[in-house]
């Protein structure tokens, strides 16, 4: 295995739109769209869609919590 792939996990980073140029709910919409694409298998990545986690820190943690609740 290559370094960084020992856990067998795929990491996807969401480059969500930021305020004030893109007001609420732009960031939430972006995060939901990416996770929706991952769960639908529309990313072209080899992801077990039955084993998906969301995480983040700071504002990303808030987005992860919203996505998880949806």
The pTM is what?
0.84
User: Mean pLDDT for the chain?
Assistant: 90
Residue 25 pLDDT level (bands cut at 50, 70, 90): very high
Over residues 20-45, the mean pLDDT reads: 96
Burial of 31 (0-12, 13-18, 19+ CB in 10 A): buried
pLDDT at 68 over 90: yes
- Lookup: tokens for 49: 């869609």
* pLDDT single digits (tens) 41-58: 999 998 999 999 999 999
From residue 48, how far is each of 7, 22, 31 by CA, in Å?
Answer: 14, 32, 19
CB 52 within 8 A of CB 35: yes
């Amino acid at each position: 295995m290559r370094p960084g792939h020992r856990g067998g996990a795929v990491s996807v980073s969401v480059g969500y739109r930021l305020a004030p140029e893109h007001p609420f709910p732009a960031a939430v919409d972006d995060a939901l769209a990416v996770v929706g694409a991952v769960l639908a298998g529309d990313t072209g990545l080899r992801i077990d869609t039955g084993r998906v986690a969301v995480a983040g820190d700071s504002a990303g943690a808030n987005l992860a919590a919203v996505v998880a609740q949806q």
